[in-house]
Structure 1
Amino acid sequence: MKVVFLDFDGVLNSLSDIAFGLGSSCFNAAAIERLNAIVRRSSAKVVVSSTWRVQHTMDELRVLLANAGFDGEIIGCTPVHSHDDARGLPDIGFIRCQEIQAWIDAHPTPLTSFVILDDLELEPMAAYHVKTDLEVGLCDHHVDEALGLLG
């Protein structure tokens, strides 16, 4: 199974989207279409790693993404770890990596490949990370990079 671990802010929207509003959607339409391209071309499933998973149920996240035009399959969310789980380190990127690894460890189906779409620094998982820019979000070159990692 191929998996895309998906952050929202800085991936599916950008600072300018947030500042100027996106109308009826929370997400940038071009970024959603790029995400669709990744999952269609790779047959990957999506696991939400965004902090949005703290404020929204799985069903709410599915509806939000579907209403924005996402047509892939969301199979779950990473667990939420506190700063204490990160051994006192306040590094959100480190915590995000722990959460992703915990999801991988908890699922018996081995992953053939995975990619992490996130604007955070994720050094422990750099080999799987496509780093987006909070100012811009998901771009065409990120699609190519993600597809290269997914194989």
Structure 2
Amino acid sequence: MKIVFLDFDGVLNHYLMLLNEPSEQRKRFSQPAVERLNAIVKRTGARVVVSSSWREWNSVDALRTLLAEEGFVGEVLDHTPILHPRTARLPDPNPGQTRCMEIMQWIDARPERPESFVALDDLDLEWLAAYHVKTESDTGLLDAHVEMAIDILGETP
């Protein structure tokens, strides 16, 4: 199984979108970013595990519905566990390290390790650098990121 660990803020939505689109026309996510995510899952057969902080106030079912309403066509499998820096006992807790620990904990809890995985995130995930496609919070998921993610996951014929 191939997994995309998905952040929302800075990946599916971004600051320029918020600045440039009138609020009455604005969607929660950038449609080009959702289309790019769709391209990743279609070309690789990957499933999504939400790693975004949005999982703190949304169930997996609510996240599935939210993404589907925004045009996502893939499968939302799960979300990562929620670790808080104090309870995670990190030597230097920062959001990127916490996110890495949450992703690693999700992987470790599976009976079978994913065939491949990628983390789409605007945080610095240095502990998962080989599996991380870093987006920028002002632009979100771009075409170049799609190709990087597919290279990490492996394209399905």
Report the TM-score when normalising by structure 2.
Answer: 0.92
Match of 1:117 in 2: 120
Q: SS where residue 121 of structure 1 aligns? A: coil
Contact 2:34 2:70 in 1 (8 A): yes
CA distance in 1, matches of 2:105, 2:118: 15
Cα distance, 1:90 vs. partner?
3.0
1:147 aligns with 2:145: no
SS of aligned partner of 1:17: helix
Partner of 2:9: 9
CA contact (8 A) 2:18 2:26 kept: no
CA distance in 2, matches of 1:16, 1:76: 29
Task: Report the Cα offset of residue 144 of structure 1.
Answer: 0.3
Q: 1:112 to 1:91 in 2, by over 3 A?
A: same
Structure 2 gap segments, 5+ residues each: none
- 1:89 deviates by 2.7
**Could you report, residue by residue, the CA deviation over 1:22-69 in whole angstroms, capped at 9, with x for unpaired residues?**
736210000000000000000000000000000111111111110110
1:4 Cα deviation (Å)? 0.2
State the Cα RMSD in Å. 1.3
TM-score relative to the length of structure 1? 0.95
Which of 92, 101, 106 is 1:103 aligned to? 106
2-structure distance, mates of 1:135, 1:116: 18
Counterpart-to-counterpart distance in 1, 2:76 and 2:93: 29
Structure 1 runs not aligned, ≥5 long: none
- Say how many residue pairs are matched: 151
- The aligned residue for residue 51 of structure 1 is 53
The CA deviation at 1:113 is 0.5
- Of all paired residues, the percent bearing the same amino acid is 51
After TM superposition, give the deviation of residue 88 of structure 1 in Å.
5.5
